[in-house]
């Protein structure tokens, strides 16, 4: 297992839909193990494969620290299909709906999400997986599936918060310095 660098907003892998996993092989198993290790090193609750530069439809999650989610709120979903209720981006509560992302490190903005979400997919053994949740787990399922569809949470913000997010990203200087990744093991940015 290894900690992999995490792609930063602007990296092309984050802005393209991922490809369906056709076969779980040793390469996919290693990827998933590395994703868990990377997520833990970065202190995240979810990580999509394209966040480590691999355009496959896989995400890992760990919301076990949230009492509402419960002790079984950790796992992997391959080829997830998301079900959720529609929500307006203008309905985000600044006090309750803060959301961050390992690909936009150090930032968080109020993000409207459905109160409930469910994903169906498969695990590493090819068995059907159904993960359903509210609160942090529901938010995580929506966030990670968005990644796999080529979308970042900052695209779901209200117009005012989108401006704040663009300003924050600009102020961090990632584009100017040509930062495409950061290493959670060392906390250092990788520049092109």
Identify the pLDDT of residue 176.
84
pLDDT < 70 stretches in the chain = 192
For residue 36 the two structure tokens come to: 């868990």
Whole-angstrom Cα distance, residue 15 to residue 12?
5
100-145 pLDDT, tens digit per residue, is 999 999 999 999 999 999 999 999 999 999 999 999 999 999 999 9
Q: Is 80 in contact with 48 (CB distance < 8 Å)?
A: no
Q: Is 6 in contact with 182 (CB distance < 8 Å)?
A: yes
Identify the pLDDT of residue 192.
65
140 annotated as ligand-binding:
no
Q: Is 121 helix (H, G, I), strand (E, B) or coil?
A: strand
* Predicted structure pTM score: 0.94
Q: How far is CA 103 from CA 20, 112, 146, 179, 187, in A?
A: 22, 18, 13, 11, 13
Strands 116-122 and 128-134, sheet pairing: antiparallel
Of 144, 155, 175, 190, the active-site residue reads 144
144 has catalytic annotation: yes
Contact partners, residue 35, CB within 8 Å, separation at least 6? 4, 47, 49, 52, 58, 59, 60, 76
Identify the pLDDT of residue 86.
86
Q: Is 52 helix (H, G, I), strand (E, B) or coil?
A: helix
Q: Is 5 in contact with 181 (CB distance < 8 Å)?
A: yes
Q: How far is CA 134 from CA 67, 89, 139, 140, 142, in A?
A: 11, 18, 7, 9, 10
Strand partners, 116: 134
Q: Which residue has the tokens 């997986």?
A: 129
143 annotated as ligand-binding:
yes
Could you give the domains of the chain?
6-191 (3.90.45.10)
């Amino acid at each position: 297992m290894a900690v992999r660098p995490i792609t930063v907003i602007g990296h092309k892998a984050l802005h393209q839909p991922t490809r369906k996993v056709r076969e779980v092989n040793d390469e996919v198993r290693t990827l998933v193990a590395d994703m868990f290790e990377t997520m833990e090193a970065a202190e995240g609750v979810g990580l999509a494969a394209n966040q480590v530069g691999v355009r496959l439809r896989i995400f890992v999650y760990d919301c076990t620290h949230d009492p509402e989610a419960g002790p079984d709120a950790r796992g992997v979903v391959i080829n997830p299909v998301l079900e959720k209720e529609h929500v307006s981006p203008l309905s985000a509560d600044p006090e309750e709906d803060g959301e961050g992302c390992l690909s936009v490190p150090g930032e968080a903005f109020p993000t409207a999400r459905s109160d409930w979400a469910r994903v169906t997919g498969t695990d590493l053994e090819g068995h059907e997986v159904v993960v359903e949740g509210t609160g942090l787990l529901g938010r995580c399922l929506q966030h990670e599936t968005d990644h796999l569809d080529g979308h970042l949470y900052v695209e779901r913000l209200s117009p005012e918060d989108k401006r704040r997010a663009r300003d924050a990203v600009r102020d961090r200087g990632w584009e100017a310095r040509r930062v495409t990744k950061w290493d959670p093991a060392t906390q250092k940015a990788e520049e092109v």
